[in-house]
A and B are shown apart, each in its own frame.
Chain A
Amino acid sequence: MTALKIDGLTVTYANRPVLNELSLHVPSGAFATVLGPSGCGKTTLLRAIAGFISPFSGTIRFGDQLVSVSSIVVPPERRKVGYVAQEGALFPHLTVAQNIAFGITDNKVKSDLVAELLDLIGMSKFANRMPNELSGGQQTRVALARALAPEPKVMLLDEPFSALDAALRDDLRAEVSELLKNRKTTTLMVTHDREEALVVADLVALMRSGQFVQTGTPTEVYLDPVSPEVAISTGDVLLLSSTKDEAGKIDSVLTPTKLGTEFVSGKLVIRPEEIRIKPAGSGVAASVIDLDYYGHDAVVHLDAAGERINVRISGDLKVQVGDRVGLEHVGPIRWFPN
């Protein structure tokens, strides 16, 4: 199996860096995601790994094989990468089976392999359909099967689910990640959907303006962000203005503390699910000013001493607008200076 190692990768466009000194190690068989807003360079990263563009500097390795240093760039057709584009991009002139067979060079195994892959994606009945006769989800499945057929060393997924509707997306995502993990295919998926980035990944890299700002497991990046911005990019947060004294004590509306004389101002980063709502009288006093009801859960908007605080609670509502309650912070303390 093949690990993916990227070191010091820089890609320029019109003499300006689009990717700046990126390094990322994806262990063999792991599923890594790159999360970032559109325009941050994540598709460029995929294209550099696939070999569609030539980097300015840095190296890309598939296992021990160097596929890209500044002087030697292995062309894409000799890298053995799988590539699934947005909306699948099935060849419109070929049937489903022909699409899947496209990358298989060994004619002896071709038909067996196609049948096997069709079975794997549950589309055996669709072998002779044309792409325009398939639904969006089916197209994505076929695109995945097509990419898997030549047994790639590294699988690259470029926002493959972004065009699909929510329910289908969750199912298909689970299905695809399970399939890839079962086959122990080293995978790198780029996405701008923070939930998608976390839910399937073994490893998450957060990208901003052509650089990785944090790399780690989903829990690491979610629970231990290196900055308030990273925290925001991986999920909802409460940013509370706060002060910290030289002894490390932190004062905020949720953590009222007496501080020493020397202190600096900063921000406390709290996830909405890290606050408990208690009966009035316990914890910090607050009043309910609004409710967002999502069914499976809900977000309660509260006012505590003039600060707006959002709390995520489970769906069985126990509060209503106008209630006076108490708030208790139960999560880790994440404090960043201004």
Chain B
Amino acid sequence: MTLTRTPATPSGKTAGGIAVPRVLRLSAVLVLMLASIPLGYLVIRASGGGFDAAAAVLLREKTINMVFTTVALAILVALFSSLLGISSAWLIQRTNLPVSKLFLVLGTLTLAVPSYVSTYAWIALIPNFAGFWAAVFILTLTTSPYVLLASLAALRRIDATQEESARALGLNSVAVAKRVIWPQARPTVSASVLLAMLYVLSDFGAVSLLRVDTFTRVVHTMYKAAYDRSAAAVVAIILVLLAAILIYTEQRARGKAVAAKSGLGSIRLAPKVDLGWKKYLAASYLLAIATASIGVPIYVLVTRFISVSADINFSDLITAAISTLSAAFTGALMAMAFAIPLGILAARFRSKLSSWAEIGILLTHALPGVVIGLALVALGSNLGFLYQTLPLLAFSYAVLFLAKAVGSIRNSFARVPKVYDDISRSLGYTSWQTIRKVTIPIAAPGVITGFLLVLLTAMKELPATLMLRPTGFDTLATEIWTKTAISQYGQAAPYALLLVLVAAIPTYLLSRPDRAQPE
């Protein structure tokens, strides 16, 4: 009978309860268009020649190395951040780990530290810190919180009854993890691992400081020194293709998302595993991760901060913090306006359109910030009064980080039982009103998670901010850039410290249990 709960024919009638609200369809088209601005820009730039120059860049031995380095970096970071993220999540959620709440906060707090700041800190600590494995190390620390949050959310959705039934059927705890927990957690966790890999593809800060030749570093180099935008665009398109392969593979491997639970009743969580004395071992493990990811950056920043505390311009510091917050807040709100309709469409009215929009957003996410920045410069400079204003800057954040929001929003909408739609419709609400009054409020925790993720990431953004900010508008990230560009690390320290401090607020909210569990 459940067969009839889906539309009678996928493409068929739109009458009655299965109509896609026009607002949703229009906004999906709009979002798809917005997300494809950078891709369209690349195609236009690349078609303006540049194949010869790009061929010179690409048809050489080093390219194979570059492809290999980029792919190996992405895969290793995915692997290690999965290990770190999943193990931390399990220890925090399912064992009697001491001060587990503190470890959760520490584990997510890493998100507040931009990758360029932690890289600087590690270089300051170990002058020889550079190269491939250093990049694997830094990027693993940077991306593992995403996997941690996703794994936690997944673990919190699995009812203890299922595990108990499996145990009763003779499965041991390893088999339960493999055959009951993992299949249910996989879609959520694998989506977060994909985001981690796309992050690696697009990262510039860490790889450039650590001198690792990835595609993004090469794209930057070409933009920086060659003034040859066409060739750079050709290389960036190859980066997009690489991202497309990753996205395709992940969507294949992800498998079908499974319904969280069969009934409407609330979840009973499994009892915590008693680790015995090993809980101190587990705590040391998590403490070591926290030390590496936030301990070192904060230690280095504070010591540098102390060394220059005499001449800090507090008014500049506060102004930059306010600017950072206002741009990031506006950007996160805009991202929500784009992500909510798309999330609903993807969760409820899955179609070619919604799939393409999602893929477009993910591809955009893999692009270096400088590409997005230039694409919006090309577009924005035609918009006259809007160019180099706060709204356009915020818009660039929304385009850059939409992928972060759409995932959690789609998942939380997918978990709202459809029977609520039916009830609401029978009580006189149209399908659009139903989405507003019922679906969105029930999915609220996931929506807020998406909002916080975009807010957090936008605060740390640099390349697009440099190009699109209003003239004279300094954010904490641009101030850090300004100071470090001329080696004034001591002067940069207070800005970096304040950025970590400000970003810690949304990060803390993200780590709260009701947040990480979009139910």
User: Which residues of chain A have a CB within 8 Å of any CB of chain B?
Assistant: 11-14, 18, 38-39, 41-44, 47, 50-54, 56, 73, 75-83, 85-89, 91-93, 102-103, 105, 132, 146-147, 149-150, 152, 156, 163
Shortest Cβ gap from A267 to chain B (Å): 31
0 or 1 for each of B143-167: is its CB under 8 Å from A? (1 = yes): 0000000000000000000000000
A87 and B264 in contact, given A41-B1, A73-B15, A75-B19 (Cβ under 8 angstroms): yes
Chain A residues near B9 (CB-CB < 8 A):
14
Q: Which of A41, A76, A81, A150 has the most CB of B within 10 A?
A: A76
B426 touches A82 (CB 8 A): yes
Chain A residue nearest to B5 (CB atoms) is A47
Q: Please name the residue on chain A nearest to B3 by beta carbon.
A: A13
B430 within 8 A of A: yes
Q: What residues of A have a CB within 8 angstroms of the CB of B4 in the complex?
A: 11, 13, 18, 43-44, 47, 53
Structural contact, A102 and B427, CB atoms closer than 8 A: yes
Q: Is B45 in contact with chain A by the CB < 8 A criterion?
A: no
A13 to B4, CA, bound (A): 7
In the assembled complex, the Cα of A42 lies from the Cα of B4 at a distance in Å of 11
- B17 contacts the other chain (Cβ, under 8 Å)? yes
Residue of A54, A103, A132 near B427 (CB, 8 A) is A103
B18 at the A/B interface (Cβ < 8 Å)? yes
**Are A53 and B422 in touch, CB under 8 angstroms?**
no
Chain B residues within 8 Å of A, Cβ to Cβ: 1, 3-4, 7-9, 13, 15-19, 263-266, 417, 419-420, 422-431, 433, 437-438, 441-442, 444
B1: chain A residues at CB < 8 Å are: 38-39, 41-44
Do B425 and A89 touch across chains, with their CB atoms under 8 A apart?
Answer: no
Distance to closest chain B CB from A249 (angstroms): 45
Closest to A88 in B: B264
A83 touches B264 (CB 8 A): no
Contacting pair A52 B425 (CB below 8 A): yes
Given A44-B1, A54-B8: A85 and B19 interface contact (C-beta under 8 Å): no
Q: Can you list 9 A-B contacts with CB-CB less than 8 angstroms, sorted by A residue number?
A: A38-B1, A43-B1, A53-B4, A54-B16, A87-B265, A91-B441, A103-B428, A105-B428, A147-B423
State whether A53 touches B430 (Cβ < 8 A). Answer: no
Given contacts A13-B3, A38-B1, contact A102 B424 (CB under 8 A): yes
> A77 CA to B426 CA in the complex, in Å?
5
- Cα of A80 to Cα of B425 in the assembled complex, Å: 10
Give the chain B neighbours of A87 by CB distance below 8 A.
263-265
- In the A-B complex, list the 10 residue pairs whose CB atoms are closest, starting with the nearest: A103-B427, A83-B426, A52-B17, A76-B425, A73-B15, A54-B16, A89-B419, A93-B441, A44-B4, A73-B16
**Given A80-B428, A146-B427, do A93 and B444 touch, yes or no (CB 8 Å)?**
yes
Give bound CA distance, A79 to B441, whole Å: 25
CB atoms of B15 and A85 under 8 A apart: no
Residues of the A chain whose Cβ atoms lie less than 8 Å from the Cβ of B264: 87-89
Q: Other CB < 8 Å A-B pairs besides A53-B7, A88-B264, A152-B426, 6 of them?
A: A14-B3, A14-B9, A44-B1, A52-B17, A77-B428, A103-B426
Determine whether the beta carbon of B417 is less than 8 Å from that of A89. Answer: yes
Is the pair A76, B441 in contact by a Cβ cutoff of 8 Å?
Answer: no
In the complex, the answer to whether A50 meets B427 with C-beta atoms within 8 Å is no
Given known A-B contacts A76-B422, A92-B442, A51 and B16 have beta carbons under 8 A apart = yes
What residue in chain B is nearest A47 (Cβ atoms)? B4
Do A132 and B266 touch across chains, with their CB atoms under 8 A apart? Answer: yes
CB neighbours (8 Å) of B263 from chain A are: 87, 163
**In the complex the two chains form, is B18's CB within 8 Å of A54's CB?**
yes
In the complex, the chain B residue whose C-beta lies closest to that of A76 is B425
Q: How far is the CA of A132 from the CA of B263 in the complex (A)?
A: 13
Let me know if A47 and B442 touch, CB within 8 A: no
Pick from A54, A75, A83: contact of B430, CB under 8 Å: A75
Q: Complex: how many Å from CA A147 to CA B423?
A: 8
Does A150 contact B428, Cβ atoms closer than 8 Å? yes
What chain B residues lie within 8 Å of A85 (beta carbons)?
Answer: 419, 422-423
Query: Which residues of the partner chain A approach B3 to less than 8 Å between Cβ atoms?
Result: 13-14, 18
CB–CB A76/B17 < 8 A: yes
How far is A149 from B427 in the complex, measured between Cα atoms in Å? 9
- CB contact under 8 A between A147 and B16, given known A38-B1, A93-B442: no
B7 CB to nearest chain A CB (Å): 8
* A53 and B419 form a contact (CB under 8 A): no
Q: Provided the pairs A91-B438, A105-B428 are in contact, do residues A13 and B8 lie with their beta carbons within 8 angstroms? A: yes
Q: Which residue of A lies closest to B17 (CB)?
A: A52
- Nearest CB on A from B19, distance (A): 7
A283 CB → nearest B CB, Å: 46
Bound-state CA distance A11–B17 (Å) is 14
User: Which A residue sits closest to B430, measured CB to CB?
Assistant: A77
Residue in A91, A105, A149 whose CB lies within 8 Å of B420: A91
CA–CA, A51 and B427, complex, Å: 12
CB closest chain-B residue, reference A38: B1
- Chain B residues within an 8 Å CB radius of A79: 426
B440 to A, closest residue via Cβ: A93
Closest B residue, CB atoms, query A15: B9
Q: Name B266's closest neighbour in chain A (CB-CB).
A: A132
* Contact of A50 with B444 in the complex, beta carbons under 8 Å: no
Whether A53 touches B442, Cβ cut-off 8 Å, given contacts A43-B1, A75-B425, is no
Given contacts A38-B1, A47-B4, A87-B264, contact A53 B17 (CB under 8 A): yes
Max chain B C-beta neighbours (<10 A), residue from A47, A75, A77: A77
CB-contact partner of A83 in B7, B16, B417, B423, under 8 A = B423
Report chain B residues within 8 Å CB of A52: 16-18, 422, 425
What is the bound-complex CA distance between A11 and B15, given in angstroms?
Answer: 14
B8 to chain A: which residues have CB within 8 Å? Answer: 11-13, 53-54, 56
In contact, B438 and A77 (Cβ under 8 angstroms): no
Q: Assess whether A91 is in contact with B442, with CB atoms less than 8 Å apart.
A: yes
Nearest-neighbor residue (CB-CB) of B418 within chain A: A52
Q: Which of A12, A39, A50, A80 contacts B422 (CB 8 A)?
A: A50
A81 to B425, CA, bound (A): 9
Closest Cβ neighbor of B425 among chain A residues: A76
Q: Smallest Cβ distance from B166 to chain A, in angstroms? A: 23
Could you tell me if A76 and B420 are in contact, using CB atoms closer than 8 angstroms?
no
B98 CB, nearest partner CB in chain A, Å: 30
- Interfacial chain B residues near A146, Cβ < 8 Å: 423, 427
Smallest beta-carbon distance B124→chain A, Å: 48
- Please name all residues of chain B whose beta carbon is closer than 8 Å to the beta carbon of A54 when the two chains form the complex: 8, 13, 15-18
B430 proximity list for chain A (CB < 8 A): 75, 77
The minimal Cβ–Cβ distance linking A60 to chain B, given in whole angstroms, is 11
Please give me the residue from chain B that is nearest to A87 by CB atom: B264
What residues of A have a CB within 8 angstroms of the CB of B441 in the complex? 91, 93
Candidate in B420, B425, B433 with the most chain A CB atoms within 10 angstroms: B425
B1, closest chain A residue (CB): A43
Query: Which residues of the other chain, B, contact A105 by a CB distance below 8 angstroms?
Result: 428
Rounded to whole angstroms, the CA-CA distance of A317 and B62 in the bound complex is: 95
A150 touching B427, Cβ below 8 Å: yes
Give chain A residues whose Cβ lies under 8 Å from the Cβ of B428: 77-78, 80, 103, 105, 150
Most buried by A among B7, B419, B444: B419
Are B429 and A77 in touch, CB under 8 angstroms?
A: yes
What residues of chain A lie closer than 8 Å to B433, measured between beta carbons? 77
Chain A residue numbers with a CB within 8 Å of B437 are 102
Residues of B within 8 A of A12 (CB): 8
Chain B min CB distance to A239 (Å) = 29
